[in-house]
Structure 1
Amino acid sequence: MAPSLSADPADRIIVALDGMDPEQALAFASQVQGLRWVKVGLELFVQAGPHVVAQLREQGLRVFLDLKFHDIPATMAGACRRAAALGAELITVHACAGSEALKAAQAAALDGATRAGQPAPTLLAVTVLTSWEEQRLQRELAIGQGIAERVSALAQLSAAAGIAGCVCSPLEVAALRAQHPEPFALVTPGIRPKGAAVGDQARVMGPAEAIAAGASQLVIGRPITKADDPCAAFAVCCEPLKA
């Protein structure tokens, strides 16, 4: 099931703690007023391990564990079981691992959370990474489908396997929302407030536009974490989401 969200715009924004060491991440998360969700990615998790998830949760934060599991079914199941036991409420898996692996991961995540007394997590299937551009995707991976077609197919595969949401570019949100009504979660990186640098994201959109298109939650990193005043930058991102 998708995570329960309040009407507060702060619940819709997940701040990515990318590029930080554990001490920086914990200090940053504690200083941003109103912050509800943070994303722990590969770099931070490899350096800090499961302990950083526990520490962030002790600060009252909800954690999106973005490790993009992609392996054989048994290994994906074991990884998702352990991730859910940590209390991560959003966990990413690659849709292209296939339906058997997705089903195993989903069942194991629920089991791990239940056994550990943690909230039931939402698994999010990664369709096509937002750094890909269509011509390069087709050329380098020898994929005949365009990005939109591939995203749609992988999202459908994931939903049929019982996965409760997807990570996708905001430019694909409207089409996916039409195919997968709420409570199916659509979590979108590649969010850049007006005037922010695009960076390494090839397919981007502003916060209000992404929510209007059907996004459930937005992942925002550098426009907040690299701002001179992160608290003010977070507030600026929340402002256009107010009813």
Structure 2
Amino acid sequence: MERPLIVALDFKDRKEVDAFLNHFKDEKLFVKVGMELFYQEGPSIISHIKQHGHDIFLDLKLHDIPNTVKQAMRGLAKLEVDLVNVHAAGGKKMMEAAIEGLVAGTPAGKNRPACIAVTQLTSTSQQMVQDELLINKEINHIVLHYAKMAHESGLDGVVCSTHEVEALQEHLGSTFIKVTPGIRMKNDSADDQTRIATPELARRLGSTAIVVGRSITKQKNPYEAYLHVKKAWEEIVE
């Protein structure tokens, strides 16, 4: 995977998606379709976006018994998305089943979608881990443990915050994908995220890809905002 800037299409329907994508008629994007959009529009939204030539990260965070995840992934693979994910908390057998389903469902002659595991959401704080999830470990230790399980299960990488990237790089190498959401520009609001970083910091720490939503999608000129974030991510100096 190259180092893409993934734009989160956190919209409620196809109409809003099209209004946003109209700003990018000559730009091939890597976009994230999450639960909000997918559950409203269904699989047809994937083919619709693909017709515009964009790459897709289908962010459904599967977490269920191994056979259910396997069959779900078998179906998702037929959509020919580029990246999918599961929750690492589902365990190694579930993650192995996810890969089996993707391999079985990928059309002949096509590459299977890359599969990554969510370690801890960037909205999760240390206090939440201890008080609500009753896990008596530091977040960075949890993330590393989950990432190692994902690696052992044959997954291509993980979703993590930028704060864990260096440790994962050290233990699992540079080819293991590290997708980092919670990206904000310096003057942006953190909103519901707690473990955030700028695109520049994510690049320096070794993120494979960043996911950016409101810093682009909620701006008056999304295309200019996209170019601004992209410049920061790619560390382009004029």
TM exceeds 0.5? yes
* SS of equivalent residue, structure 1 residue 92: strand
Map of 2:96 onto structure 1: 103
Q: Assess if the C-alpha contact under 8 Å between 2:28 and 2:53 holds in 1.
A: no
Which amino acid is 1:88 matched to?
V
2:77 is equivalent to residue 84 of structure 1:
yes
Cα displacement string for residues 213-234 of structure 1 (whole angstroms, at most 9, x for unaligned residues): 1101100000100001000000
Which amino acid is 1:205 matched to?
A
Cα displacement string for residues 135-185 of structure 1 (whole angstroms, at most 9, x for unaligned residues): 121111111111011001000011001011100011111111111212211
Cα displacement string for residues 186-213 of structure 1 (whole angstroms, at most 9, x for unaligned residues): 0010000121111111000011210111
Instruction: Say which of 148, 151, 154 aligns to 1:159.
Output: 151
Q: Provide the C-alpha distance between the structure 1 equivalents of 2:48 and 2:19, rounded to a whole number of angstroms.
A: 11
Task: Name the TM-score, length of structure 1 as normaliser.
Answer: 0.92
Map of 1:237 onto structure 2: 229
Q: Assess if the C-alpha contact under 8 Å between 1:165 and 1:185 holds in 2.
A: yes
What fraction of aligned residue pairs are identical, expressed as a percent?
A: 38
2:192 is equivalent to residue 192 of structure 1:
no
Map of 2:30 onto structure 1: 37
Q: Provide the C-alpha distance between the structure 2 equivalents of 1:139 and 1:35, rounded to a whole number of angstroms.
A: 43
Cα displacement string for residues 15-56 of structure 1 (whole angstroms, at most 9, x for unaligned residues): 001133211113312322534201000010000000001110
| Closer, same or farther: CA 177–164 of 1 in aligned 2, 3 Å | same
Q: Assess if the C-alpha contact under 8 Å between 2:12 and 2:40 holds in 1.
A: no
Q: Provide the C-alpha distance between the structure 2 equivalents of 1:29 and 1:127, rounded to a whole number of angstroms.
A: 30
Instruction: Say which of 50, 58, 70 aligns to 2:51.
Output: 58
Query: Where in structure 1 are there 5+ consecutive unaligned residues?
Result: 6-10
Q: Provide the C-alpha distance between the structure 2 equivalents of 1:168 and 1:30, rounded to a whole number of angstroms.
A: 30
Root-mean-square deviation (CA, aligned residues, Å) is 1.4
2:206 is equivalent to residue 214 of structure 1:
yes
Task: Name the TM-score, length of structure 2 as normaliser.
Answer: 0.94
Which amino acid is 1:108 matched to?
G
* SS of equivalent residue, structure 2 residue 135: coil
Q: Assess if the C-alpha contact under 8 Å between 1:71 and 1:97 holds in 2.
A: yes
Q: Assess if the C-alpha contact under 8 Å between 1:130 and 1:168 holds in 2.
A: yes
Map of 1:8 onto structure 2: none
Query: Where in structure 2 are there 5+ consecutive unaligned residues?
Result: none
2:45 is equivalent to residue 46 of structure 1:
no
Q: Assess if the C-alpha contact under 8 Å between 1:84 and 1:118 holds in 2.
A: no
Give the total of aligned pairs: 234
Map of 1:113 onto structure 2: 106
Q: Assess if the C-alpha contact under 8 Å between 1:15 and 1:220 holds in 2.
A: yes
Moved more, 176-185 or 151-160: 176-185
Q: Provide the C-alpha distance between the structure 2 equivalents of 1:31 and 1:62, rounded to a whole number of angstroms.
A: 16
Map of 2:11 onto structure 1: 19
Which amino acid is 2:81 matched to?
A
Instruction: Say which of 167, 172, 188 aligns to 1:175.
Output: 167
* SS of equivalent residue, structure 1 residue 141: coil
Moved more, 221-230 or 130-139: 130-139
CA apart distance, 1:12: 1.6
Which amino acid is 1:74 matched to?
N
* SS of equivalent residue, structure 1 residue 114: coil
